[in-house]
Amino acid sequence: MRHILNPQRQLGETDIGAIQFDPYSRDDIPQILKGLQYIYTNSAICEEVFNHLARIIPEGIDAGNGRPGMALWDIFVLGTLRLNLNCDYDRLMELANEHRTLREMLGHALVDENDQYRLQTIKDNVSLLTQEVLDDINQIVVRGGHALLGKADEPLAGRCDSAVVETDVHFPTDTSLLTDAIRKVIGLCGQAGEMFGVLGWRQYQYNFQCFKNLYRKTVKLKRSTSKDEAKVEARKSRIKEAHQAFMERSEYYLERAKATVKELQKIELAGAIVEEIKHYIAHAERQIDQIRRRVIEGEKIAHEEKVFSVFEEHTEWISKGKAGVPVELGLRVCVLEDTMGFILHHQVMEQQTDDKVAVSIIEQTQARFPKLRLCSFDKGFYTPKNREVLQERLEKVVLPKKGKWSKKDREIETEEEFVAARKRHSSVESAINALEVHGLDRCPDHGIEGFKRYIALAIVARNIQKIGAILQQRARAAARRKACTVKRAA
């Protein structure tokens, strides 16, 4: 049974629209809660948001019968708060159980003041949100923000840029990736042995500890800095021997795992764990092949063949040439912000660079906000084709050319409107920095779907906080005017 909100008001429950916030607070929590309060108290926005939230109820579930689940409003509140505060689920649980104003926003009252949220309950429910639902909600939130500023009918101008959101992975080396894969193979085979009585893995934890010791011995061998050719060759020989022993032990465990898979395939209930074991066996075999080619045969491995995490396979090796940041492990995310500070749209870039998404980000944004008439980019988005296509879709395209200007380029890029938009373009860096502070520095969620959900939730949370910040600023100004009036009357 799922409700958007608890349909029955409880004794002592505070109406969400009547919750009071300190106008002088500079913390993030009052801003996000005030933004959520604005959504709830605006009937048109609230109805649309609730309609989209209802889509996260799994198919075949009767929303009106069965054991009560977490209300959809509570899921949305906790999800946006998690991203806005850039906190983990443990802190989110503590806030949900102990923060008075947040519990009022979640609809708790005197009757259920001792009710507590459990960690796994929060994790399971927040993960029900999907990228598609959050994208639709974001459009509603942005339009609500425009209406709040009294600019709902004005044409939009935007600025577009990309940033890297890191995945939660360690720095990849061939040996560390192989160790990860073997660890999972041994662990899963050991669990399968305990669950289904398959023999051969009683000491699986000890087996992995022995394998890990061999890994440590391998990584401790460093290239010799000696100029003595004899010592250099001796060190190279030791490195090859250590890697050869490491690979042989890996292949030994893989052969045992393959035999275990054959036994498990005879058991009907073991289908899921069999597929998982086979998945990590494939990872291990790839890494063994690459170690043999690189270390033993001296071959250079092509970048396209490499995988940078056996757990987060969508992770990319990204080098943007930033000072002090030689490489980032994650995915690029392109964001388009309007001049009012709201994120209109975003796009996760899988195996793409900026110039590949310049047209698609505008097409997708205009499908959501048809009044977009101007957008600025940096030089990374430039190609002659991009400029040509964007000029057909926008009234004004601010897309500076790479390299030398032609006479036509000079005319375009010295126009007053072009120059003014270029000067304002750097403001998008502030928006990107705010997103990084509020969750988009590193994604802790697993899988590409978890990554996309995390990004979409961060965008929604940022826009809701933006609304809350506007309302908080107005409330602060009103409180100061009231204090001045009282002071003058006295």
The whole-angstrom separation of Cα 44 and Cα 36 is: 14
Q: Which ranges constitute the DSSP H helices of 292-426? A: 354-368, 384-393, 407-413, 416-425
Per-residue pLDDT, 65? 67
26 and 135 assigned to the same domain: yes
Average pLDDT over residues 125-152: 94
Q: Which of 12-21, 413-422, 469-478 has the lowest mean pLDDT?
A: 12-21
In a domain, 330, yes or no: yes
* pLDDT band with cut points at 50, 70 and 90 for residue 231: confident
Q: Quick check: is 323 in a domain?
A: yes
Residue 4 lies in a domain: no
CB contact set of 232 (below 8 Å; sequence gap of 6+): 224, 226
In this structure, the answer to whether residues 27 and 85 fall within a common structural domain is yes
pLDDT of 5 reads: 67
Position 112 scores a pLDDT of 66
- To 10 degrees, what angle do helices 271-291 and 174-196 make? 160
Instruction: Examine the pLDDT at 436 and tell me if it is beyond 60.
Output: yes
* Out of 16-30, 101-115, 302-316, 384-398, least confident range: 101-115
Can you read off the two tokens belonging to residue 209? Answer: 């500890």
Using CA of residue 321, residue 325, residue 330, residue 336, what is the dihedral sign?
Answer: negative
In a domain, 76, yes or no: yes
Q: Are residues 391 and 341 in the same domain?
A: yes
Residue 330 sits at φ, ψ, to 5 deg, of 170, -145
Q: What is the pLDDT of residue 482?
A: 84
119-126 and 89-98 helices, crossing angle to 10°: 110
The C-alpha angle with vertex 483 and arms to 479 and 484, in degrees rounded to 5, equals 120
Could you list the residue range(s) of the whole structural domain that residue 414 is in?
A: 154-168+314-446
Q: Torsions phi, psi of 127, nearest 5? A: -70, -5
Q: Are residues 350 and 229 in the same domain?
A: no
In terms of domains, do 427 and 378 share one?
A: yes
As a whole number, the mean pLDDT across the chain is 90
Q: Both 163 and 190 in a single domain?
A: no
pLDDT band of residue 389 (cuts 50, 70, 90) is: very high
- Neighbouring C-beta atoms of residue 20, cutoff 10 Å: 10
C-alpha distance from residue 223 to each of 90, 214, 246, 271, 449 (Å): 43, 18, 18, 44, 40
pLDDT at 487 over 70: no
Residue type, 360: S
Q: 121-125, 180-184, 403-407: which has the minimum mean pLDDT?
A: 403-407
**Owner of token pair 């598609």:** 132
Task: Please state the pTM of the whole predicted model.
Answer: 0.91
Residues 35 and 91 in one domain: yes
Q: What is the dihedral of CA 71, 76, 79, 82, to 10 degrees?
A: -100
Q: How many domains does the chain have?
A: 3
66 with 25, same domain: the answer is yes
Q: How far is CA 332 from the centre of its chain?
A: 11
In this prediction, residue 10 has a pLDDT band, given cuts at 50, 70 and 90, of low
Place of tokens 């890996």: 250
Look up the CATH number of the domain holding residue 338. Answer: 3.30.420
Locate 424 and state its tokens: 């304002």
User: 153 φ, ψ to 5°?
Assistant: -100, 0
- Answer with the one of 271, 305, 339 that is the final residue of a domain: 305
pLDDT at 63: 61
For residue 60, what pLDDT band results from cuts at 50, 70 and 90?
low
158 band by pLDDT with thresholds 50, 70 and 90: very high
Averaged pLDDT for residues 152-173: 93
Q: Does residue 454 lie in a domain region? A: no
Distance CA 350, CA 417 (A): 33
The verdict on residue 8 lying in a domain is: no
- Would residue 422 count as lying in a domain? yes
Residue 437 lies in a domain: yes
Q: What is the pLDDT of residue 403?
A: 83
Over residues 187-217, the pLDDT tens digits come to 999 999 999 988 889 999 999 999 999 999 8
Residues 222 and 318 in one domain: no
| Whether residues 296 and 188 fall in one domain | yes
pLDDT > 70? residue 64? no
Do residues 129 and 189 both lie within one domain?
no
Chosen domain end from 263, 280, 305: 305
Same structural domain for residues 164 and 199? no
For strands 343-349 and 328-338, give the pairing.
antiparallel
